Structure 1
Amino acid sequence: MKNFFYKLIIWLRQFLTGSFYNHKNVWEAFPEFFDAILETSFPVPGLKKIISLTDRNERQRCNAMTPQGLTLTEDYLLISAYCHDHQHRSIIYVLDRITGVRIKTVILPDLPHAGGLAYDPLHKKIWISNTAGKHAAVATIALDDIEKYDKDPITIAYQQKIVLKELPRASALTYDQGYLYVALFTLNERGKFCCYPIDYQGNLETIVEDTLVKSPFDTLNIPQKIQGVAIYKNLLLLSQSWGKQSGKIFVFDINSTADFSNLDEALKIIETPPYLEQIYVDGDQLYALFESGASAYRKKTPYVMKNVLQADLKKLLNETTNEAFLQSKSA
């Protein structure tokens, strides 16, 4: 009965917000991707309007919020968004991860692109993409602070903001087993991918050079136009999109890939609707966020995705990549 109730709530929210897409057309265009999509999905809030603050802390309606980052905690699904017109502070939507109901909207203290979100479950900390002049940065917010955040239009405070040496921008983030992974989006050259260990206090365990934090590991090359990164067992998943072209998810075997920017080494390339942003792995499920529902893009593609979609990873990756699992385990 509880599952039926949750599904009814999700259906009603999709109906009332116009979140249904043309199933037949989009399924025919991207059959491999949609064949693995599960029934549960989460409507993205604020695509038409949301209350935020200007840089002068004036309460104002924003019609241009554009979803970017995605992560899950034990109880919540978090979506970051920035104002495409650069007039309002960026925000994080807090959704119930079971029902998809928006609980609150958290206003950030600045206007970052907020292209990546990551959650550290050991230290109950949210990592957010940011910038600091010519360098990438990551900011942190305690999960406890998000839970205590009041509905009044005030900004939440960052716990810390850390400037990274290797990258000019932090375009995508993910957390996995005590490490924060940061990727750089590029248009005309290979992207970059860095790994930062997290210490027992929940801080980046790194070398400091002239106030800049440096990764103790080598920087890896990745393909151009990478919007999201996720790790599933021994696989690295990279989401790519730019403009009206189809999005793609590149699947690499971490143990056997010599060059992650070489698409010939990818185990699998999965086509998705355009404007794919962050992807997130939870168990055997993949969550995918799109920005095509935002005002800047919704008229540029017939495949407008207003929901966070949830896919069965085992079905999506099928036997080709399952062989890689077996080879990795037997090595």
Structure 2
Amino acid sequence: MKNVTKRALAIVFLFVVMCNLSFFVSAASYPSTSATYNIYNLVRNSSASGGCSKMIPQGITFAGDYLLISAYCGDDVPHNSVIYVFKESDKSYYGTIKLPGTEHVGGIAYDCDRSGNVWVSNGNSVGCFKYSKLADCKGKVLSVSYNRVANLSYTASTMCYDAVNNYLWIAQFSENDSSKSFARCYAVNDKTTSTPTLPYQFEISVPLKTQGISVRGNRMMISSSYGRNNDSKLYSYTWNQTSKTKTLKSTTILPPLSEGVVMGSTYAYVVYESVAPKYYDTCSYPVKYFASYVISKFGI
């Protein structure tokens, strides 16, 4: 019986070693970051999260003087979704915007007008509030309401604003149906008023499991992920605004559970939902931070 037990333990030990070896090989293949900004404690801080200690970060965008990360509640009894506001200059935490509902706020975008709006995914719609509200949340949690809600015929899973071509992109996530995996493009009219409109422009296909999109002039990045133990992918494209076509330049493997991505002039930032309490202990390679990557390394 002792020999049987020893053999069983040896098999278990070998299995664990093999799993760990596979894990380390995978982790070693991930690209190095240029900088990391730890948000592990922030998403667990109920005083900075509208009373919730189980926030799940999703979207990320630049907004003038700020960098924004949207998050929704992972608790059984949901709290309102929030936007964490960071100073753009050094990525230090500035304050929190408390949104009017509990929706899965997968996307966030700024329409690049100081008198304009921050746009947020709101299920089968997008809502917006004035950019000026961001300054008012310094050192506190500030509740806002949407000054405009635009209804959609699909789920606003993620979105971005292309300041070069002045379009709001809204993409829908689909795990396995390519016909439902698309991004639609809208102009933003009357953005300085209380009732901006979103006239439809065109649609393109995007990869399955799209979690984040960023378009900046002739460059595009799409974050794709699904599953706590599956590597994410970051697709980098050149984008032709005239022909409305994207050309794939590279596919980069990232840690599991990547969500939003946003490009600056030099760096791209990616947020991972594995930092959330719901996923951190069960994800094969949890990431405590949102990460900065040099864009030129991705071939665009």
TM-score bracket for the superposition, by shorter chain length:
0.7 to 0.9
User: 1:212 aligns to what?
Assistant: none
Tell me which of 152, 171, 176 is aligned to 2:162: 176
Q: Is the 8 A contact 1:284 1:312 kept in 2?
A: yes
What are the ranges of 5 or more consecutive residues in structure 2 without an aligned counterpart?
Answer: 1-22
RMSD across aligned positions (CA) = 2.6
Counterparts of residues 222-241 of structure 1 (less than 5 Å)? 222-241=206-225
1:80 aligned partner, one-letter code: S
2:72 maps to amino acid: Y
Tell whether the 8 Å contact from 1:52 to 1:91 is kept in structure 2 after alignment: no
Give runs of aligned pairs for residues 288-307 of structure 1, distance below 5 A. Answer: 288-307=270-289
Q: Which of 14, 30, 37 is the equivalent residue of 1:42?
A: 37
TM score, norm. by length of structure 2: 0.80
Q: Is the Cα contact below 8 Å between 2:121 and 2:158 reproduced in 1?
A: yes
- CA–CA distance in 2 between the matches of 1:67 and 1:201? 27
2:13 — aligned with what? none
* 1:119 to partner: Cα distance: 1.0
**CA deviation map 1:134-169 (0-9, x unaligned):** xx211111121222247665621112111123x2x1
Q: Which has the larger radius of gyration?
A: 2
| 1:138 and 2:126 matched | yes
TM-score after normalising by structure 1: 0.73
Matched-pair contact (CA < 8 Å) for 1:196–1:204: no
| 1:33 maps onto 2:31 in alignment | yes
TM-aligned CA distance change 1:26 to 1:285, over 3 Å: farther
Name the SS for the 1:271 alignment partner. strand
Distance 2:30 2:211 in 1: 20
Alignment size in residue pairs: 266
Residue aligning to 1:248: 233
Q: Contact 2:116 / 2:191 at 8 angstroms: preserved in 1?
A: no
Q: CA deviation at 1:91?
A: 0.7
**In the alignment, what sits opposite 1:209?**
none
> 1:1-331 alignment to 2 at 5 Å?
29-31=27-29, 33-34=31-32, 37-38=33-34, 40-44=35-39, 46-51=42-47, 61-85=51-75, 86-122=77-113, 123-131=115-123, 136-149=124-137, 155-165=143-153, 167=154, 169-177=155-163, 178-190=166-178, 191-202=181-192, 203-206=196-199, 215-217=200-202, 219-243=203-227, 244-255=229-240, 266-314=248-296, 316-318=297-299, 321=300
Q: Is the 8 A contact 2:94 2:139 kept in 1?
A: no
Matches of 1:205 and 1:87 in 2, distance apart? 30
Unaligned stretches of 5+ residues in structure 1: 1-24, 54-58, 207-214, 322-331
Contact 1:41 1:310 in 2 (8 A): yes
Q: Percent identity?
A: 26
